Amino acid sequence: MFESLPLGAFIGVVLFLGMSLSMIVIISRRVLMQNHTLTRRLAGVSGPQKDVQKGAAKSGGLVSKKLIERFGKHIALPDVNEITRIRFKLAQAGFYDAQAVTIYCGVRVFALLVPQLVLLCAWPIFLQDMETKTLLMISFGLIGAGMFGPDYVLGSKIATRQQLARDGFPDLLDLLISCLEAGLGLDAALSNVAEELGTRFPVLKINLDLLNLELMAGRQRYEAFKNFAERLGLEEAKALTIMLKQSEEMGSSLGLALRTFSEEMRSKRMLLAEEKAMALPAKMTVPLILFIFPTIMTMLLLPAAARLMQSF
């Protein structure tokens, strides 16, 4: 039956089946990983969450950290405002070193130059038969990857840390409420919460430690919490900062205000989950039409098409 089938139709069927199976495997793996994470969290088992700062402290690859740092010091750094913006993004990604900006600039220059040097060295040995147009396209592609690759990696690390902080923020509020209702002050409660969250949510621990250091240095509480919210990049943290400021100005009970804020945040999370669940059928329409429906129709019409071709 398949011998009389046209090659184009057979390839189309294989492609549709492969894409459908790939989408099913990817979605199933993601759902299983999320369920596994939730199960471990409910069981109270600390997962193997690797802090981004630990990865930044280790030197790896072909170029060491010190070499990149020295190279970054000799290149032209951006102006003060740009350095402040880069340092803030690096802090959000978990890089708190004093030389993080110079290392980042050195990495960007290396990402532009090293692939071009590799291409030039490989051209007379392996790429002699390749057309000039193809070589130029490869070179431009490497330039684009070198320009936008470091920013993409940095943005990915920031998004990962924000998701980890978002997952642990309800636990932070619960522990903070428990410490306040037990009679501790806010500063002591923040210190205890940082110690309790250290093993499960290291991202929150680092930012809480920085918050405690700012408070110990004499910075105003509102400014310290504002910096804390900006480092995390979460709407929940910004709303917590505003709520704490209003509670201090009005003289209301901080524990009661935090408990009300926690209940409102849980209601908001539930509404957001319901919104995502309601939007799921509309989002499934596109893959259903593009991948599943054509595959089903092809498999149903395939025997009839093969018989018609044999009759003609």
- In tens, the pLDDT along 112-156 reads 888 878 877 777 676 667 777 777 788 788 888 888 888 898 889
Which has the closest alpha carbon to 53: 163, 205, 225, 229?
205
Answer whether residue 126 is part of any domain: yes
Which has the closest alpha carbon to 221: 197, 244, 239, 198?
244
Domain termination residue (choose one: 114, 141, 162): 162
56/145 same-domain check = yes
Band of residue 21 on the pLDDT scale cut at 50, 70, 90: low
26/58 same-domain check = no
Residue 257 near residue 243, CB atoms below 8 Å? yes
118/23 same-domain check = no
Per-residue confidence (pLDDT) for residue 56, from 0 to 100: 40
Residue 47 near residue 199, CB atoms below 8 Å? no
Backbone angles phi, psi at 182, to 5 degrees: -80, -5
Band of residue 99 on the pLDDT scale cut at 50, 70, 90: confident
Q: What residue numbers bound the domain in which 99 lies?
A: 52-162
Instruction: Return d(Cα 6, Cα 8) in angstroms, integer.
Output: 6
Residue 34: is its pLDDT beyond 50?
yes
Residue 22: is its pLDDT beyond 70?
no
Answer whether residue 85 is part of any domain: yes
Residue 1 Cα to chain centre, angstroms: 48
Residue 223 near residue 199, CB atoms below 8 Å? no
Answer whether residue 233 is part of any domain: no
Domain termination residue (choose one: 108, 135, 162): 162
Domain termination residue (choose one: 162, 182, 202): 162
Domain count, the chain: 2
37/75 same-domain check = no
62/107 same-domain check = yes
Higher pLDDT, 10 or 170: 170
Instruction: Return d(Cα 288, Cα 27) in angstroms, integer.
Output: 14
Per-residue confidence (pLDDT) for residue 55, from 0 to 100: 44
26/79 same-domain check = no
Band of residue 287 on the pLDDT scale cut at 50, 70, 90: confident
Per-residue confidence (pLDDT) for residue 295, from 0 to 100: 84
Average pLDDT, the chain: 75
112/13 same-domain check = no
Answer whether residue 108 is part of any domain: yes
